[in-house]
Amino acid sequence: MLRGAERPHALQNLRSGLFVASRVELAVDSESRRRGLLGREGLDEGSALIIAPSSAIHTFSMRFAIDVIFVARDGRVLKSYAAVGPRRIAFSLRAFAAIELPAGALARAPVEVGDILKLVSQ
């Protein structure tokens, strides 16, 4: 899923053809994974943060809700959570990555377990 991820990408659901996010930020080193969205005021509409490797996230110091999708290494959706509020934990034991989105993103571009999400070069 993350091959060639240094270039700007969007995140597309291959089943529906819909774009889940038009701007993707990666957190793939230890420091950026620990930081995640902590300290931010929100997540811009149309954006996503992919944290890899990660099978769990928390929102303890956050002030806003997020949607979260957990995927396998090949981008297959294992689990999703809508509107995870502050001071919560979300996880999927077999996940390779967590994708954090603005709350409501899953309602606009529905994602189902088993869908394949792919980074598309822009």
The CATH number of the domain holding residue 95 is: 2.60.120.1140
Chunk the chain into consecutive blocks of 10 residues (it has 122) and report each block's average pLDDT, rounded to whole numbers.
67 96 87 64 89 93 94 98 96 97 94 96 84
3 within a domain of the structure (yes/no) = no
| Number of domains observed in the structure of the chain | 1
Residue 40's pLDDT is 64
1 within a domain of the structure (yes/no) = no
Residue 32's pLDDT is 61
5 within a domain of the structure (yes/no) = no
Residue 90's pLDDT is 97
Which residue segment(s) compose the domain that 80 sits in?
Answer: 10-121
CB 89 within 8 A of CB 57: yes
CB 45 within 8 A of CB 22: no
